[in-house]
Amino acid sequence: MASSRLKYLSLGVLVFQTTSLVLTMRYSRTLQAEGPRYLASSAVVVAEVMKIFACVLLVLKEHSYSMRALNSILRQEILHKPIETLKLAIPSGIYTLQNNLLYVALSNLDAATYQVTYQLKILTTALFSVSMLGRRLGIYQWLSLLILMTGVALVQWPSESAVTPEKEAHSAGSQFVGVAAVLVACCSSGFAGVYFEKILKESKQSVWVRNIQLGLFGFVFGLFGMLAYDGERVRESGVFQGYNTVTWTVVALQALGGLVIAAVIKYADNILKGFATSLSIILSTLISYFWLQDFDPTGVFFIGAILVIAATFLYGYEGKPSPNPSRA
């Protein structure tokens, strides 16, 4: 009974985190407010700081809140093993790029289209798992990947609508930028996730310590990116320009959401994760249409979305592969 409750709690957490992050991020990037809009590069840096702090607290909890034990673990695993620590610079840099790309994507795509298209990360993760980890996929999984690509292609199928040529050209340009950002993010997510999984399998260290190492590199890379691309705006209006309640909610969801998923994922099997993804896509579609009002669904979109949802279930149908550790 307790196990069943944990499964449904996991389902609720997965759906809430996935849906709320996408919708609030989209809302924050399209919200008309006075003053300058917050910098996406700044939000990525602040999220890394929050994530490091949360992971430090989790490591502290693992060692009975002993500051001496925490200090010893961090010195031993980070300072005394520089080569092992430097290995995480690669996935950390890629994750930093990915996080910035997600802001670009949701600045140019509605939440529903983004949610469906981003499921291509299943394809990239599978391909990198085969090439880097030597994992073998079953017939159902290969079939699901073909269905997935077909579904995403249908979702991106241009729709006929009564708009002016200027607005249509602007919309097409924005959609191209958004889709390109999602595709690059999918590739980076697949590679970095599999690379990180490989590192975790080769070591016995706590996933929270590994996330502290990732967070430290992510903070450095993110800070460098912020100063390189938005340095002038930061000097003019500060790092926290444009921040409001919605912005802080987005940052908190991005920083802590992955940690929550990492904590509950062991209770969620492949079918449950597929169900959570499907519910998230449906909720994102409904809320984008009724609340954000930035999405006009078509019959082709619904067919594509159904194919993507079916592919998600089918991919986890054959066998029960070991849970993939992922960066929180």
Q: What is the DSSP string of 241-306?
A: TT--HHHHHHHHHHHHHHHHHHHHGGG--HHHHHHHHHHHHHHHHHHIIIII------HHHHHHHH
Considering the domain boundaries, does residue 322 fall inside one? Answer: no
Considering the domain boundaries, does residue 106 fall inside one? Answer: yes
Considering the domain boundaries, does residue 240 fall inside one? Answer: yes
CA distance linking residue 34 with residue 96, whole number of Å: 28
Considering the domain boundaries, does residue 299 fall inside one? Answer: yes
What is the arithmetic mean of pLDDT over 82-90?
A: 87
CA distance linking residue 121 with residue 187, whole number of Å: 7
Which pLDDT score is estimated for 171?
53
Does this model's pTM top 0.85? My answer is: no
CA distance linking residue 52 with residue 205, whole number of Å: 16
Which pLDDT score is estimated for 1?
59
Q: Averaging pLDDT over each range in 66-80, 171-185, 274-288, which range is the top one?
A: 66-80
Instruction: Report H helices in 156-264.
Output: 165-201, 207-237, 245-264
Q: Residue 225: pLDDT band by 50, 70, 90 thresholds?
A: very high
- Look at the block and give the residue holding tokens 């389902």: 11
Considering the domain boundaries, does residue 166 fall inside one? Answer: no
CA distance linking residue 273 with residue 321, whole number of Å: 13
Considering the domain boundaries, does residue 112 fall inside one? Answer: yes
Considering the domain boundaries, does residue 275 fall inside one? Answer: yes
Q: Residue 162: pLDDT band by 50, 70, 90 thresholds?
A: very low
CA distance linking residue 140 with residue 214, whole number of Å: 34
What is the arithmetic mean of pLDDT over 154-166?
A: 60
Considering the domain boundaries, does residue 165 fall inside one? Answer: no
Residue 323 has pLDDT above 50, yes or no: no
Number of domains in the chain: 1
Q: Contact at 8 Å (CB) between 194 and 129?
A: yes
Range(s) of the domain holding residue 239 = 1-158+171-316
Which pLDDT score is estimated for 261?
65
Which pLDDT score is estimated for 40?
93
